[in-house]
Amino acid sequence: MRARTRTGRRKVVVLAAVASLGAGLLAGCADDGGDEESPGSGSGGGKTKITLGLFGSFGFEEAGLYKEYEKLNPDISVQQTVIERNENYYPPLVNHLTTNSGLQDIQGIEVGNINEVANTYADKLVDLSKYGKESDFLDWKWKQATTKSGETIGLGTDVGPMAICYRKDLFEAAGLPTDRAEVGKLWEGDWEKFVDVGKDYKAKAPKGTTFMDSPGGLLNAIIGSEKDRFYDSSGEVIYKSNPAVKAAFDLTAAAAEDGLVGNQTQFQPAWDTTIANSKFAAMSCPPWMLGYIESKSKPEDAGKWDVASPPKPGNWGGSFLAVPKSGKNAEEAAKLAAWLTAPEQQAKLFAKRGSFPSAEAAYDLPLVTGAKNKMTGDAPIGEIFAPLAKESPIQTIGPKDQIIQQGLTDNGVILVTQGKSPKEAWDTAVKTIDNNLEK
């Protein structure tokens, strides 16, 4: 699940991996290209059928969790319906919640939409605090789905703690350190230091490469490390007046002017090509991005990547499971939602799909502590990402976060790489965002 976050144009190829985490997408963070509904496992047969309405790739079926639950509960049958893109999934979900009809027993909710659902439709959803165990989860993740009156309307499936993935060979060629601890110290605590490292890279960069992949990737990483971004705690839109957002935009624009970032939009075919052809040295990188990197890389690039701590911890992506009260099997559905998001199941999903657990209790389990990835060799990715997840800020999320973030990237900083001034890029982004917010 992405933070720009899982809107339609991003296509991710899911690769199965068992022990190595060779693939994996943050649940729902990735789109697979189509919009058709696809039926999942399970049939009635006189059993109690629990239905799930999901988007993207949560990975429950692929990881065998439905079959495992059905084996543990012989009287239960599980069936999922998937709409690949959240942009085509969420509007109908809102309509179903508004009319309180047409809902599945369990509904997936993307992190960018959880605030709107919690504030507007909580009365239509089961309080899952009676089923999930709050102490198992990251505090900030639990709070994202908790209403002001204390009801928890969603259980977190995953999170996207951000690190910096970098090419050791390109760093070495540019005279930079390659040890992940030393690399993290280069920019510790300050995104401006990160950009300064980009300048050092450019001075000796291998021909035809940039320091970072894209302006959108840099901007998303900086903004993702801020507590207050586009909305304040009262629900007011503040992106234009928030100095943190403007500073992030200006720093990214300056990096773009200096040629430190590529001129591509993430998850587009041209951007995929830059991965395959080793055209950049670093990128903001949640755990699910490792699977994407592998899917687009050449086989000989396996082991050339590593993962370092970012200047500041942040989050990119994550989803929830909610249970509508109107469901025929709300009680059994709540039990299934709690089981699917329990630490043990989240650890299995991480091992098989790359979805990083939102349940902090999973971080000490062997499937997490022993996790490795084909692209990063022996890097202990579970141990690298776990502290970053714990340190991520509790962010204020608003109903139109995705619209604002996409406007700042695809209608904003990308323009600087196309010859526009930072001011022109900002003005274009603001105009685009405000027009979309009025719709």
Per-residue pLDDT tens digits for 38-64: 444 444 457 999 999 999 889 999 999
- Three-state SS at 373: strand
pLDDT of res. 86: 87
pLDDT of res. 364: 96
Q: pTM for the whole thing?
A: 0.83
Q: What is the pLDDT confidence band of residue 5, given thresholds at 50, 70 and 90?
A: very low
DSSP conformation class of 413: G
Residues 190-206: pLDDT tens digits? Answer: 999 999 999 999 999 99
Mean pLDDT of 168-195: 98
Contact at 8 Å (CB) between 419 and 413? no
Measure the N-to-C terminal CA separation of the chain; round to a whole number of Å. 25
Scored b (16 or more CB within 10 A) or e, 67-85 reads eebbeebeebbbbbebbbb
Mean pLDDT of 306-319: 94
DSSP conformation class of 187: T
Q: Is 314 exposed, middle or buried (0-12, 13-18, 19+ CB in 10 A)?
A: buried
Model confidence at 29: pLDDT above 50: no
Model confidence at 286: pLDDT above 90: yes
pLDDT of res. 119: 87
Mean pLDDT of 313-319: 92
Residues 119-156: pLDDT tens digits? Answer: 899 999 999 999 999 999 999 999 999 998 999 999 99
Could you tell me if residue 168 is left (phi over 0), alpha (psi between -120 and 50 degrees) or otherwise beta? alpha
Q: Measure the CA–CA gap between 87 and 110, rounded to whole angstroms.
A: 10
Q: What is the pLDDT confidence band of residue 7, given thresholds at 50, 70 and 90?
A: very low
Residues 6+ apart with CB under 8 A from 144: 111, 114, 115, 118, 154, 156, 318, 320, 394, 395, 397
- Three-state SS at 182: helix
Mean pLDDT of 294-303: 94
| Average of per-residue pLDDT values in the chain | 89
DSSP conformation class of 73: -
Residues 103-113: pLDDT tens digits? Answer: 999 999 999 88
- Three-state SS at 83: strand
Q: What is the pLDDT confidence band of residue 235, given thresholds at 50, 70 and 90?
A: confident
pLDDT of res. 85: 81
Could you tell me if residue 274 is left (phi over 0), alpha (psi between -120 and 50 degrees) or otherwise beta? alpha
DSSP characters over 300-351: GGTT-EEEE--SS--B---EEEE-BTTSTTHHHHHHHHHHHTSHHHHHHHHH
Residues 354-409: pLDDT tens digits? Answer: 899 999 999 999 999 999 989 999 999 999 999 999 999 888 888 788 889 999 99
Identify the sign of the CA torsion 371, 372, 374, 375: positive
The amino acid occupying position 230 is: F
Could you tell me if residue 183 is left (phi over 0), alpha (psi between -120 and 50 degrees) or otherwise beta? alpha
Q: Measure the CA–CA gap between 202 and 212, rounded to whole angstroms.
A: 10
Q: Is 394 exposed, middle or buried (0-12, 13-18, 19+ CB in 10 A)?
A: middle
Q: Measure the CA–CA gap between 6 and 110, rounded to whole angstroms.
A: 8
Residues 239-271: pLDDT tens digits? Answer: 999 999 999 999 999 999 999 999 999 989 999
- 19 or 48: which leads in pLDDT: 48
Residues β-bridged to residue 68: none
